[in-house]
Amino acid sequence: MFAEVAYHTGDQDFTAQLTQVISAKAEALFVPGYFGDAALIAKQLRQLGSKIPILGGDALDAPELMSIGGEAVEGLTISSFYSAEAPANDVAKKFVAAYKSKYDKTPNANGALGFDTYNMVVDAIRRARAGTLGRGLVMALRPGRRR
C-alpha cells in the first residue's frame, strides 16, 4: 500500500501525516528529510503503535539521530554513498583510521564529504598555475579537469 504525505522541515508534530500513513496500511515509511525530523517522526510513529519499517537517505547519517530518536530509530535503514565499515579504497581506509585515531569515533557521511572536499581543493590549488591562482583554481575545479 502507498500514501504520499508532506511535512515542513522543523515541524514538531507529525501525528496527522503519520495517521494517514498508518491508515493507508503502508508497508514502509520513507523519510527524505534530515536526522532531527526523522528522529521525531520515528518517535511519534512508534508512539502511535506502528511498527512499519522506516527508511531514509544520507541526511540521516548523523549520531544525533540516535540521541534524539532513541529506541524509535533502532533498525531504521539508511541509504548512503558512504560507509565507514566498507571503505571504497585505500584512501578511504586511511581516512577512517586517522579520523578514529584523532576523534575517538567513527566518521559519518558529512566527515567523509569534508575530507573529499578538502582534498579536492588542495589538489586544485597544486594544479593551478602560479600567478593565476584565482582563475587557475576555478579552472582546476571544473569537471573533467582532474589529473
Percentage, residues of the chain above pLDDT 90: 60
Beta bridge partners of 77: 55
> Cβ-count burial of 137 within 10 angstroms (0-12 exposed, 13-18 middle, 19+ buried)?
middle
Spell out the CATH class of 15-78: alpha beta
**Each residue's pLDDT tens digit, 63-90:** 899 999 999 999 999 998 888 888 889 9
**Alpha carbon separation from 116 to 14, 55, 62, 92, 112 (Å, rounded):** 36, 26, 18, 9, 6
Give this prediction's pTM.
0.72
Domain ranges of the chain: 15-78, 90-141
22 burial (CB, 10 Å; 0-12 / 13-18 / 19+) is middle
